[in-house]
Amino acid sequence: MNLDPHYDVAIIGAGPSGATAARYAAEDASVLVIEKKKVIGVPVQCAGFLPKYDELAELMPDSDLPDTFRYPDSCVYAETKYQRFIAPTGDSKQFDVDANVLDRKRFDLYLAEKAVEAGADLCIGTRASAIDGMSIEISGMWGSRTIRADVIIGADGPSSLVARSAGLSTIEDDPMGVAHAVAYDMTGVTIDEDAVEMYFGRNFVPGGYAWIIPHGDCSANVGMGIRSAMCEPGVTFRDYLHRFINEHPIASGKLKGGEVTSFIAGIVPVGGARQKTCAGNVMIAGDAAGHLIATNGGGIPTAMVAGKIAGETAADAVNGRCAVEDYESRWKSEIGMQIGTSVYVRKLMDGMMRSDPMMTAVMNMISPAHMKAIQRGQLPDAVKRLLKGMQKRIG
């Protein structure tokens, strides 16, 4: 592959954030995307739950959504209609959410194709190994070399090299903001194919929740997001996942006897957005920047919106229409409130999750409509008062 020694914009990472950034930056700038995976989207590190376009528009009303949220049906495993919350006692509540469950391999490939169609150069199987100012050392399938860029976008996931190299804070600086997610793809399960289920309870999933996300035809992604600080000593994440599948009073009836076809694991940054997401001519977006809804660990929508804003800002900056630092206020005006509120709620919920009776009481008192709002990174006043009151009681 013939790479130029210099690009207007270099983007590290071709996940949802980087590919979206590239698709928009390439409309008005020369763009290189560096991706260490040899096959885009593989291995998968995501359960693929993504609300449909109209739900996303309600979730992020101030956003000009990327057009790539209108993806082909071939990227979709299954459609779901509800989100159901199951309290530690087994009581459940549900609300309507029209959503797709994505095949992330196909979805990421689709996003990368859109970036290339827009004019970006994509270099797969290649790792950015060091960044010094605006010089990037890359090595991999196409050999080793140094590329220079006027603007760099770090869309390189939670353990971002770009953030670290630019002196921006990273997930390592915020241990309580780290959740670990582990999941199996399973076949032969007996589930409600219309509902995404979220289970709470400290014995099964400390400091987080477990999920069953239908993939259609009696298959599902079954996983959990856990916070290690809240785990029992000596119990691994995989132990918790097995305990959930085999022993949970409700879930085990649906899952026991199912066959595991693959295992996925990854880090989910639930500590909120980095205080600074740009330094000089470097920006970070998506998981690299903590752009994620902390109450549910959903990061695809915010990663793509932040990627679009980073790509547009990069192209505007190299064409003299704005400063790179404008990125900060641009993404905050579109998704800052949702991300910030979700972290605030997650912190309040951390206290409740230490006690199953408390968690059950809270879930019983919150209406389905308010649960949906919380999932979207909103905090209705009534819920705020309730959580604050509960927090006082547990001290």
Ligand X SMILES: Cc1cc2nc3c(=O)[nH]c(=O)nc-3n(C[C@H](O)[C@H](O)[C@H](O)COP(=O)(O)OP(=O)(O)OC[C@H]3O[C@@H](n4cnc5c(N)ncnc54)[C@H](O)[C@@H]3O)c2cc1C
Q: What residues make contact with ligand X under the rule CB under 6 A?
A: 12-18, 34-37, 45-50, 127-128, 155-157, 161, 181, 183, 223, 264, 266, 268, 286-288, 292, 297-300, 303
Contact 214, 220 (CB under 8 A): yes
Q: How far apart are CA 213 and CA 197, in angstroms?
A: 7
Contact 157, 288 (CB under 8 A): yes
Cα→Cα distances 79→50, 187, 192, 276, Å: 10, 17, 12, 37
Closer to ligand X by Cβ: residue 94 or 360: 94
Task: Please report the DSSP string for 103-152 in residue order.
Answer: -HHHHHHHHHHHHHHTT-EEE-SEEEEEEETTEEEEEETTEEEEEEEEEE
Quick one: DSSP state of residue 295? T
Least spacing, CB of residue 252 vs ligand X, in Å: 21
Least spacing, CB of residue 365 vs ligand X, in Å: 27
Least spacing, CB of residue 300 vs ligand X, in Å: 3
Dmax over Cα atoms in the chain, in whole Å?
A: 64
Least spacing, CB of residue 388 vs ligand X, in Å: 28
Closer to ligand X by Cβ: residue 16 or 387: 16
Closer to ligand X by Cβ: residue 48 or 88: 48
Closer to ligand X by Cβ: residue 17 or 30: 17
Q: Which residue is nearest to ligand X (CB)?
A: 299
Least spacing, CB of residue 357 vs ligand X, in Å: 29
Q: How far apart are CA 298 and CA 46, in angstroms?
A: 9
Least spacing, CB of residue 177 vs ligand X, in Å: 13
Contact 35, 13 (CB under 8 A): yes
Contact 318, 197 (CB under 8 A): no
Q: How far apart are CA 349 and CA 231, in angstroms?
A: 16
Closer to ligand X by Cβ: residue 204 or 390: 204
Least spacing, CB of residue 169 vs ligand X, in Å: 16
Closer to ligand X by Cβ: residue 83 or 360: 83
Cα→Cα distances 296→68, 88, 346, Å: 22, 17, 9
Least spacing, CB of residue 381 vs ligand X, in Å: 27
Task: Please report the DSSP string for 48-72 in residue order.
Answer: -EEE-HHHHHHHSTT----GGGS--
Closer to ligand X by Cβ: residue 56 or 390: 56
Closer to ligand X by Cβ: residue 274 or 360: 274
